[in-house]
Structure 1
Amino acid sequence: MSAGTSPLPPSVTTAPRLRRRPSLSPAALSPAAWIGVLAVLAAASVALYLTVDLGGNLGYVLPRRVNRVLTMVLVAYSVGVSTVLFQTITGNRILTPSIMGFDALYLLIQTGLVFFIGSSGVVALGSTTKFGVELALMVAFSWAIYRWLFTGSGTSLHLVLLVGIVFGTMFRGVSSLLQRLLEPSEFVVLQDAMFASFTNVDTGLLRVSFVLVGLASLVVLGLRRQFDVLALGRDTAISLGIDHARVVTAVLVVCSVLVGVCTALVGPITFFGLIVANLAYALCRRFRHRHVLPIAVLLGIIALVGGQVVLEQVFAFDTALSIVIEFAGGLLFLVMLLRGSIK
């Protein structure tokens, strides 16, 4: 064999390389494809919930189911959008608006109303007035605490968690004290407000909630091109021409309204946002808000509507879906803390 001669025949050396087969793993799907898949699953979940085991008087049963579905869709949208935007401006994926003591404040408001004016007074107050009081107090609290913590030059995660723990502990302590002073009959009335419930939501309040969420969504739509820049950090965003203080303030207002409306309408859902936001990040993998936001919302609809279908039709659980969600979300929160998955 002479020098410079290939040891292999030309048919082998010039053979084309075998192409790899396209991967069928979930990571191979594009964000747009995930949005399409999740949209189909969300629509199927809604269709199943509205039609499965539908009997009796349709004029009575079907409107109630539609009302519940609209409530769950509104909650999924509010929680998904507010959590993703909140994590964008805070710079980590373990914080959610509810972890900052929102559920404890809601419980304190409910306990205070029953303690000071009684269950009969709460009924006489009316659902609309009660909803307005709860929403105003929660939005004011969230606005004050978020503005203080997240509009400065730097934010310590440990400080944020500490503030959330302190406020949550304080609110729960006051609530526990007031609950011990209540009459047993009054406490039984209060128990219904301790867990999120998607049943028997007032139709008028649902309409008001849609209007408020729609107005907040207009702000989100106007700022949509700046969210990806905000995710790069405060200094980078300012160097790229973003009015950081103004945009962050607007986002905090939106988060306050969305979470306040959601909590006042159905009750506290502490870890639901943590679940849907982090699943959206895992599926999207490119972290563009135009992909992450709709994926988080669709995941929320599937979790709420599809989860309710599974609980009612498959397992026949006599429990609230929010309890299962809170259990799963609490486990995810602990796992993320132990693994240090905060960025």
Structure 2
Amino acid sequence: MTAPVLTEAALAATRRGQGRRLAVLALLAVAVVAGFVLIGLTGNWEYALGVRFRKIATMTVVGVAVACSSVLFQTVTGNRILTPGIMGFDQLFVLVQTLIVFLFGALALSTADPRLLFAGQVTVMVIFAGGLYRWLFGRRGRDLYVLVLAGVVFGTLFGSLSSLAARLINPNDFVVLQDSLFASFNQVDPDLLALSALLVAGMAAWTVRLTGRLDVVALGRDHALNLGVHHASVVNQALVIVAVLVSVSTALVGPITFLGLLVANLARQLTGTFRHRTVLTAAALLSVIVLAGGQLVLERLLAMNTALSVIINFVGGAYFIALLIRESRR
């Protein structure tokens, strides 16, 4: 039996359906953003709107970065339950923050120039990723899963070193350190936000240029080579984009472990396609909805000061377990 072939009419209907879903997600994102900006607006409107617009801009930049990096990483690894966090970026961020407090005290962390701290963290994470890629994909090209396993090992090492250093620091400094390890959108430097937006926009533009080839790479290495796509080149470019996006988003607000897993898989389920242009757009819109909607519920409806990342990691962790159970039954 031969596989059914979609007619042009069926294909057009499928794309119209995907377009309608994207339009609904876009309208929902606009509604959530408007609700976050306008609900409970009192006092000095100019000041309040400035603060809220900066938060929304930060959420948008981080959401796009996390969504794009997660979709790309799942494509090149061929696994829907992996995210860039498995490469050890989050643990490296925690290690850098812990070492600063361990060596110089909590005061150094709270009074350091945020631009210098941001540049240092991004540089360290990008160098780590570049060194890992070069080591594993040098002259002797190795399997992509070796990269993932190496990331797991390094992540465990960074986590162990962070735990060791945290046990040796002053208890008061430890409280300050713990507070800095939760993703926060409240006090982001406008200059860093502008720089991050430029970097994310540049990586997003690079990703758009790769979408056609990524659709082919998602079929597997052998199929990609047979169809004339340079698989290794596309994978290396995608990994560079992932490294920059994860480094920028993590250095800007801190780690949000399960956000990428959540929005990448929901985007594929809602759109019903593996075309990267559609999936990436849906994932970015879902990220904005989750971040802005979650912050709206916490701040305006529940009046809670809990870090949003705690809620996202809880929901994302439950979703991750559900994915594992579903995959194991196939």
Q: Which TM-score applies when normalising by structure 1?
A: 0.86
CA 341–217 in structure 1, closer or farther in 2 if over 3 Å, else same: farther
Structure 2 distance, partners of 1:155, 1:227, is 16
Structure 2 distance, partners of 1:41, 1:167, is 39
CA 89–342 in structure 1, closer or farther in 2 if over 3 Å, else same: farther
Amino acid at match of 2:218: A
CA 331–164 in structure 1, closer or farther in 2 if over 3 Å, else same: farther
Shift of 1:53: 0.4
C-alpha contact 1:38 1:295 (8 A) present in aligned 2:
yes
Amino acid at match of 2:54: N
Aligned to 2:227: 240
Q: Identify the range of structure 1 (133-142 vs 265-274) with the bigger mean alpha-carbon deviation.
A: 133-142
C-alpha contact 2:125 2:243 (8 A) present in aligned 1:
yes
Structure 2 distance, partners of 1:296, 1:328, is 16
Q: Percent identity?
A: 48
Aligned counterpart for 1:92 among listed residues 67, 72, 79: 79
Does structure 1 residue 304 correspond to structure 2 residue 291? yes
Q: How many residues align?
A: 315
Query: Residues 86-120 of structure 1: CA distance to partner in whole angstroms, max 9, x if unpaired?
Result: 11111110111012222111100100111122233
Structure 2 distance, partners of 1:142, 1:83, is 15
Shift of 1:58: 1.5
SS in 2 for 1:340: helix
> Who wins on radius of gyration, i.e. which is larger?
1
C-alpha contact 1:228 1:289 (8 A) present in aligned 2:
yes
C-alpha contact 2:68 2:204 (8 A) present in aligned 1:
no
CA 286–124 in structure 1, closer or farther in 2 if over 3 Å, else same: closer
Does structure 1 residue 195 correspond to structure 2 residue 182? yes
Amino acid at match of 1:220: T
C-alpha contact 1:83 1:274 (8 A) present in aligned 2:
yes
C-alpha contact 1:114 1:186 (8 A) present in aligned 2:
yes
Aligned pairs for 1:163-182 within 5 A: 163-182=150-169
SS in 2 for 1:95: coil
SS in 2 for 1:192: helix
Does structure 1 residue 229 correspond to structure 2 residue 216? yes
Structure 2 distance, partners of 1:299, 1:149, is 33
Shift of 1:314: 2.5
Aligned pairs for 1:48-67 within 5 A: 48-67=35-54
SS in 2 for 1:48: helix
Aligned to 2:255: 268
Does structure 1 residue 141 correspond to structure 2 residue 117? no
Shift of 1:146: 4.8
In structure 2, stretches of 5+ residues that fail to align are 1-13
Query: Over aligned residue pairs, what C-alpha RMSD do you find?
Result: 2.2
In structure 1, stretches of 5+ residues that fail to align are 1-26
